[in-house]
Structure 1
Amino acid sequence: MRTRYVTGSPNWIDLGTPDIDRAAAFYQGVFGWDFVSAGPEAGGYGMFRSGGETVAGGMSIAPGEGGPPAWTVYFQSPDAEATAKAVRAAGGTVLSEPMDVFDLGRMALFADPAGAGFATWQPGANKGLDLVDGPNSLTWAELYTPDVDAAVAFYGSVFGMETSTMPMPGNTGTYIMLNPAGQGEEATFGGVVPLDLDPVEAGEGPSWLVYFEVPDTDAAVAAAERLGGTVRLAAMEMEAVGRMAKLADPFGARFAVITSTPPEEAA
């Protein structure tokens, strides 16, 4: 993943949680992030920062409002209204109509036809995340879905996303990877996995999962456990990919961490 501010690329992520202060303490302990409020006019929303660069957003959500605690992936759009129309036309659902966020941009929340939630960000003054693919920042996004072909068709129709493939570890099948239209395979930002092939995710239902690059996966797992998080999948090696683990924060928001194999070693 790279910071590519083009249509269909992930340009923002944020966390909805019952207690942003406690969540911020958790992520500070795992990733070293600081949480900076966007001010009282932002309704409690704020930015997670690493080394002074924004890596995510977050806010408290009252129980029963906005769904369970979760990370949300935002994809760039040049026109949030047009994206909402495309979502409906392709069989998805508009959960929150496009709205202005001050002069920063326009956002909208959606669900794809299988029910996986996602969002769009039409940049204004805020172009998106400052840092991705660096230490303790977003490095990958993975969609778990019951119908890979249908999901690929949906996101292709809405955002123009393109695909490439690679063998799955252990020759267990083919892994579908996504990239923004016209950007080529070097711009891949995520993948699509059949829900029934991953027992860890099968019980959660269709969803997007964010991966954060970390210097040491085992240290991140230990910190998460110490701070009240849950290990959903113990740290494991994936050949030519890296060492990864799946976690949840103390409120149940799911995410993954990975220490990627350097390109020269993966070749």
Structure 2
Amino acid sequence: MTEAATRRTPGTPCWTSLMVHDLAATQDFYHAVFGWEFTPGPQQLGAYVRAVRDGRPVAGLGELPPDRHLPVAWMTYLASDDADETAEMIRACGGTVAVGPLDADEAGRMLLAADPEGAVFGVWQEAHQPEIPATGAPGAPVWHELMTRSATGVAKFYQMVFGYRPEPADPADSGCRTLFLDDRPVCAIQSAGGTLPRDRGPYWTTHFAVADVAEAVRRVTASGGRVVRPPSRDDAGRSATVTDPEGAAFTVVLARGGR
């Protein structure tokens, strides 16, 4: 996510949230890993809190109804100037709108949708000048990727709905598309093919910045999470993929000046 002086460009990842079965335990986990504190948030979909780091919002946590046995996963919200119009575009381009559009207190208007491959994402229309979430600092989101069967196939949907310009992340790698808005990379689509978990389909994933990747992984395991991909280094820098105790996967990446 990136900061803007007023409204975010439509299509920009602007928020990330997680719906879980045990909200109190999940708050304890992310406080231990990222140092998050929590304040009350909109309650339209049930108990919900905003995670705060250094006085700035970074993410949302909500609690699923007891009878909803859904996969637990971080969900990316994409900015919109008109949530109702975006909902119509999603439907027209082969996606599904599952919830909304509906008002979230006086903060804005939102909806939950799925792309044609089944990956769930949110859309957020700010009601006024946005309260810009922290980005890039330790404990805050720094990047969002869609893990799907074919980046080439689903990229057209996001291009039509949000106006992205998809480009290969690497000319030699046809399995990844970086999505640009106004010549600025904002998120990516990664072809996961047969490596997608058997119990779920395509999904959006959030990358959080940390000051020390190895220490973040240690905190994850000490707090009941597990390691999916141990710390390693690639073109994007040092990172690791982990899950929280309820199985929600996320990636920790080295913040600038970290180690």
2:217 aligns to what? 221
1:177 aligns to what? 178
Q: How does 1:8-23 map to 2 (within 5 A)?
A: 8-23=11-26
1:258 aligns to what? 253
The answer to whether the 8 Å contact 2:101/2:111 transfers is: yes
> Aligned partners of 1:126 and 1:66: how far apart in 2?
36
CA-CA distance at 1:128 after TM superposition: 5.3
Post-superposition Cα deviations, 1:68-95, rounded to whole Å, max 9, x if no partner, equal 2221110001111111111111111111
> Aligned partners of 2:43 and 2:94: how far apart in 1?
37
Runs of 4+ in 1 over 4 A off after TM superposition: 39-42, 171-174
1:69 aligns to what? 72
Q: How does 1:27-176 map to 2 (within 5 A)?
A: 27-38=30-41, 43-65=46-68, 67-125=70-128, 127=130, 129-167=132-170, 173=174, 175-176=176-177
TM-score for both structures, normalised by structure 2: 0.90
The answer to whether the 8 Å contact 2:46/2:64 transfers is: no
> Aligned partners of 1:79 and 1:190: how far apart in 2?
21
CA-CA distance at 1:121 after TM superposition: 0.2
> Aligned partners of 1:39 and 1:206: how far apart in 2?
27
TM-score for both structures, normalised by structure 1: 0.87
SS in 1 for 2:117: coil
CA-CA distance at 1:175 after TM superposition: 3.3
CA-CA distance at 1:232 after TM superposition: 1.1
1:205 aligns to what? 201
Task: Indicate how the Cα distance of structure 1 residues 73 and 214 shifts in structure 2: closer, same or farther if over 3 A, else same.
Answer: same
User: Which one of the candidate residues 190, 198, 201 is aligned to 1:193?
Assistant: 190
Amino acid at match of 1:214: V
Post-superposition Cα deviations, 1:79-135, rounded to whole Å, max 9, x if no partner, equal 111111111111111111200111110000000000000010000147254211222
The answer to whether the 8 Å contact 1:143/1:191 transfers is: yes
Overall identity of the aligned pairs, in %: 32
Structure 1 unpaired stretches of 5+ = 263-267
Task: Indicate how the Cα distance of structure 1 residues 152 and 41 shifts in structure 2: closer, same or farther if over 3 A, else same.
Answer: closer
CA-CA distance at 1:259 after TM superposition: 0.8
Task: Indicate how the Cα distance of structure 1 residues 40 and 62 shifts in structure 2: closer, same or farther if over 3 A, else same.
Answer: closer
2:239 aligns to what? 244
Amino acid at match of 2:191: P
SS in 2 for 1:8: coil
The answer to whether the 8 Å contact 1:30/1:220 transfers is: yes
Post-superposition Cα deviations, 1:148-192, rounded to whole Å, max 9, x if no partner, equal 122110001111111233328xx6556311122xx21xx312211
The answer to whether the 8 Å contact 1:156/1:162 transfers is: yes
> Aligned partners of 2:90 and 2:249: how far apart in 1?
25
CA-CA distance at 1:145 after TM superposition: 1.3
> Aligned partners of 1:94 and 1:137: how far apart in 2?
28
Give the alignment's Cα RMSD to 1 decimal: 2.2
SS in 2 for 1:189: strand
Task: Indicate how the Cα distance of structure 1 residues 66 and 36 shifts in structure 2: closer, same or farther if over 3 A, else same.
Answer: farther
Which is richer in helix? Answer: 1
The answer to whether the 8 Å contact 1:195/1:202 transfers is: no
Post-superposition Cα deviations, 1:3-59, rounded to whole Å, max 9, x if no partner, equal 241100011111101111111110011111111123878842111000000001111
Number of residue pairs matched by the alignment: 253
- Report the more deviating stretch, 223-232 or 141-150: 141-150
